[in-house]
Amino acid sequence: MDNNELIKKIETVLNNAKAEFNEKINEKNLDEVYKNYLGKNSFLNNISRSISEYEPEIRKIIGMSVNNAKIKIEEIYKNLKEQIKYENSSNDSYSKIDLSLPGVKITQFHKHPITAVLDETVEFFTSMGFEVVEGPEIETAYYNFDALNIPDNHPARDVWDTFYLKNGLIPRTHTSSVQVRTMETKKPPLRVIAPGRCYRYESVDATHLFMFNQVEGLFVDKNVKLSDLKGILEATVKHLLGAKKTRFRPAFYPFVEPGLDLDIECVFCGGKGCNVCKFTGWIEVIPCGMVHPKVFEYAGINPDIYKGFAFGMGFDRLVMLKYNVNDLRLLYSGNMDVLNQF
């Protein structure tokens, strides 16, 4: 049984327990149902005893799913016990409204993990003076490509697996398009981040979806240096992921020069090498670089006076790293047993 099937099996066991408790509400049958689902040799307890046999990256997910099912079954059992005690009591002193009975537990709602990490990211950058800006999700080719130094005949366009609409517009492939829109409407100095959804023609798997969330950052001023970029991004991954070891590698992106990739030490293996980091010990987190002069020219900013840096974070991937989630699809499944773990 693979991991997804196991999680679904745990969910099925919980639903079956709820159904049986609803049918058998006398005290004898209630205890029998309880032993079937939480007894010594029950399915859930067998999973708990064998939890150490699973891979470390999925152990947490399965363990929390089992514990969540146990807590819910225990809660239903205790409430039904009290209900039966109340209904069977012939003592007149036992009030029909017994204030000592436990009430219905109010579910404590929480943010979706993607929303929580986005809010944490926004709070971190606004504390450093960044402003949150937005742009349209349906873009023109000009803002999505041309104004970012990716003309129609540039081979880099092939890197962005793009959907094209019949009217020629594009579901944006990155929030970098907000860079130029912002520089056209606001005068430097600028410190902005642009969170939002992006779309690419991707094959769906554990680490890729056709829709994902990204945060683009832009810093423009007269004396901006590469060291400013490195300092801010190192502080960012330390704050969001607790990363202690980072490195910058040269990379090519048409809208920055020089271009870099920020890597962090693999959070799954501690830098020793594993399947997640492809046995390199490092995970790429943030593409970045100094804004290309051509991009400034498209936006009407003099590159001889102003300098800047830009970066883009796919924060769905940040959520995976932060919470050790091994399959991106779990975050979008709507499965409450998964989401309630966060």
Is residue 249 annotated as a catalytic residue, yes or no? no
Is residue 156 annotated as a catalytic residue, yes or no? no
Query: Could you tell me if residue 87 is left (phi over 0), alpha (psi between -120 and 50 degrees) or otherwise beta?
Result: alpha
Tally Cβ neighbours within 10 Å of residue 190.
19
Q: Which of 310, 319, 325, 338 is catalytic?
A: 310
Q: Which of 33, 180, 220, 256 is catalytic?
A: 256
C-beta of residue 299 within 8 angstroms of C-beta of residue 180: yes
Closest CA to 341 of 7, 56, 42, 1: 7
C-beta of residue 179 within 8 angstroms of C-beta of residue 209: no
The helix, strand and coil proportions of the chain, stated in percent and rounded to the nearest 5, come to 45, 20, 35
Is residue 282 annotated as a catalytic residue, yes or no? no
Instruction: Please calculate the CA angle 286-137-148 and round it to the nearest 5 degrees.
Output: 55
Q: How far apart are CA 66 and CA 104, in angstroms?
A: 22
C-beta of residue 180 within 8 angstroms of C-beta of residue 147: yes
Is residue 285 annotated as a catalytic residue, yes or no? no
Say if strands 190-199 and 131-132 run parallel, antiparallel, or are unpaired: parallel
Long-range CB contact pairs, 71-77, < 8 A, 24+: 72/14, 72/18, 73/14, 73/17, 73/34, 73/37, 73/38, 73/44, 74/38, 75/105, 76/17, 76/18, 76/21, 77/21, 77/30, 77/33, 77/34, 77/38
Is residue 200 annotated as a catalytic residue, yes or no? yes
Q: Which of 191, 194, 214, 224 is catalytic?
A: 214
User: Rounded to 10 degrees, what is the CA torsion of 213, 219, 225, 230?
Assistant: -30
- Give the bridge partners for 301, in sequence order: none
257 is in an annotated binding site: yes
Is residue 160 annotated as a catalytic residue, yes or no? yes
Q: Which residues lie below 8 Å from residue 132, measured CB to CB, with a gap of 6+?
A: 122, 126, 192, 193, 194, 195
Q: Which residues are annotated as a binding site?
A: 257
Active-site residue set: 160, 174, 200, 214, 256, 310
Q: Which residues are annotated as a binding site for Mg(2+)?
A: 257
